[in-house]
Structure 1
Amino acid sequence: MPGRNRAFLLTMEAGSIVGSFFGGLMLGLVPGVVLLSLLAIILMSVKVWRHT
């Protein structure tokens, strides 16, 4: 299965690493509720973009 979706897997992996880094930096500056809301929006947009 990972072989068929290799490009998507690599894209999600790179986004996860970058998102973790910047999320960790913003943790002390931005309330957790805002960060969770941004994460939810990003994940929903990826899901919608992937299925259209």
Structure 2
Amino acid sequence: MGYGDNRRTPKMRRRRRQLKLKQRLRRQATDTKAERQAQAPAPAKSKRGK
């Protein structure tokens, strides 16, 4: 066993792949939210505070 061999096990490879996938999805979600917020019209003033 050499240094870092534990990181090359199937379990660790799967874990790292899933981590990268989840990070990619999170980044895409935040980008989409920011884009939608930029495109959305300004919210109308509420009628409650006359």
Instruction: Please identify which structure carries the higher helix content.
Output: 1
Between the two structures, name the one with larger relative contact order (CA 8 Å, sep ≥ 6): 1
Q: Rg larger in 1 or in 2?
A: 2
